C-alpha cells in the first residue's frame, strides 16, 4: 500500500529521453506490439542520426523480447539502473527480461505498479531521441496510471486536445500517444475509450493507426477489406484525430514478428515496411 498511496512521480522526465511515443490499443490482438516494434525501427531507419529505445510495459504479456529476438537479464549500472539490451540498433527494456518466460504473471496491482515504476524510472537509457512505449492493451487502472506518469515535460495542456504540430514547435518533447485499431466496430469502440483516457490525463493523441485494413491475395492480387475498410478514418473524424497511416494485413508482417526479424529491419523495401516508415515520418 505504501507504493500505491505514494503513487508514481508525476510527469518527471525520463532522463536523457527527448520524445516519448506511447503505442496503445483499446483491446488486445489488434497489432499494438507489432506496430510499436516496427515504428521504433522505422524512426531509426528514417533518420540514422536518431537514437531510439523501445520500452515494453505490457506487463501482462510482454512480446518485445520475442519480436526483437532478445533475452537475458539486464546488467545493473553503478548507480543501480538497468541497462537496456540492444538489437537492430534499438535499446530495449521489457518486463520479459525481468521474469522467467514461463512464469505466470498473476501479480496483484501493487506488484504490477512497482514493476512499471522500475521500467519507467530505473533504466539507464543514455541519450535517446525517441522512446517508443508498448502499453498494456485496454483502458483499466494500470493503463490509466501509466499514461498519467508519461513525462510530457513542457507540454501540459489546459484543455484536453489533439496534438497539433504547430503547437509542438515550441516544445522539445512533443510526446504523445498513438492508438492502434483494426477497422472493426468493436475494436474501434475500444479505441475511442483509449483516446478518451489519454485526453483525461492530458496526454496528446498523435493519431490513429489503422491496422489490418486491407488484405491482398498474393496469387490473384485481389484486395479484400476483411475487417472493414474505413472504420478508423470515420472514428478519427468524429474524435477530431489524425489517421497516421494504414498497415495492410500481410503474412510477412506476422512471420517476421514471430521469428524476431521485424519487417522494417528484414524487408525494408517491402510495401508493408514502407507503411510503417510513412507513419514514423508523421510522429
CB 177 within 8 A of CB 22: yes
Site for ligand ADP in 29-68 (CB under 6 A): 29-34, 63
CB-based burial of residue 134 (10 Å sphere; 0-12 exposed, 13-18 middle, 19+ buried)? buried
Q: How far is the CB of 13 from ligand ADP (least distance, A)?
A: 26
Residue 257 interacts with ligand ADP (CB under 6 A): yes or no: yes
Q: How far is the CB of 202 from ligand ADP (least distance, A)?
A: 24
Minimum CB distance to ligand ADP smaller for 74 or for 136: 136
Contact pattern for ligand ADP over residues 7 through 26, marking x by CB under 6 A: ------------------x-
Among positions 12, 164, 223, 254, the unique one binding ligand ADP when judged by CB under 6 A: 254
CB-based burial of residue 141 (10 Å sphere; 0-12 exposed, 13-18 middle, 19+ buried)? exposed
Count residues near ligand ADP (CB under 6 A): 18
Q: Is 27 helix (H, G, I), strand (E, B) or coil?
A: coil
Could you tell me the CA-to-CA distances from 173 to 13, 160, 189, 228, 283 in Å, in that order? Answer: 10, 17, 29, 35, 12
Minimum CB distance to ligand ADP smaller for 26 or for 174: 26
CB 180 within 8 A of CB 14: no
Q: How far is the CB of 123 from ligand ADP (least distance, A)?
A: 21
Q: What whole-number distance in Å separates Cα of residue 91 and Cα of residue 82?
A: 12
* Site residues (vs ligand ADP, CB under 6 A): 25, 28-34, 63, 137, 211-212, 247, 249-250, 253-254, 257
Amino acid at each position: 500500500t505504501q507504493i500505491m498511496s505514494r503513487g508514481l512521480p508525476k510527469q518527471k522526465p525520463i532522463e536523457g529521453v527527448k520524445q516519448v511515443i506511447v503505442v496503445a490499443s483499446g483491446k488486445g490482438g489488434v497489432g499494438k506490439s507489432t506496430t510499436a516494434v516496427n515504428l521504433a525501427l522505422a524512426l531509426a531507419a528514417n533518420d540514422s542520426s536518431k537514437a531510439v529505445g523501445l520500452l515494453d510495459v505490457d506487463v501482462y504479456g510482454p512480446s518485445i523480447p520475442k519480436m526483437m529476438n532478445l533475452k537475458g537479464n539486464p546488467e545493473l549500472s553503478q548507480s543501480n539502473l538497468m541497462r537496456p539490451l540492444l538489437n537492430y540498433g534499438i535499446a530495449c527494456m521489457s518486463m520479459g527480461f525481468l521474469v522467467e518466460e514461463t512464469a505466470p504473471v498473476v501479480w496483484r496491482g501493487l506488484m504490477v505498479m512497482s514493476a512499471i515504476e522500475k521500467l519507467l524510472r530505473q533504466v539507464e537509457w543514455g541519450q535517446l531521441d525517441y522512446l517508443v512505449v508498448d502499453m498494456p492493451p485496454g483502458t483499466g487502472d494500470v493503463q490509466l496510471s501509466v499514461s498519467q506518469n508519461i513525462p510530457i515535460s513542457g507540454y501540459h495542456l489546459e484543455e484536453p486536445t489533439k496534438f497539433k504540430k504547430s503547437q509542438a514547435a515550441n516544445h522539445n518533447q512533443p510526446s504523445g500517444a498513438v492508438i492502434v485499431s483494426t477497422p472493426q466496430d468493436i475494436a474501434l469502440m475500444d479505441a475511442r475509450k483509449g483516446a478518451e483516457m489519454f485526453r483525461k490525463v492530458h496526454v496528446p493523441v498523435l493519431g490513429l493507426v489503422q491496422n489490418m485494413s486491407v488484405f491482398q491475395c498474393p496469387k490473384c492480387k485481389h484486395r479484400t477489406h476483411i475487417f472493414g475498410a474505413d472504420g478508423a478514418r470515420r472514428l478519427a473524424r468524429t474524435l477530431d484525430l489524425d489517421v497516421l497511416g494504414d498497415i495492410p494485413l500481410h503474412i510477412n508482417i506476422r512471420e517476421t514478428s514471430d521469428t524476431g526479424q521485424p519487417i522494417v529491419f528484414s524487408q525494408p523495401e517491402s510495401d508493408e515496411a514502407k507503411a510503417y516508415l510513412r507513419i514514423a515520418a508523421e510522429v
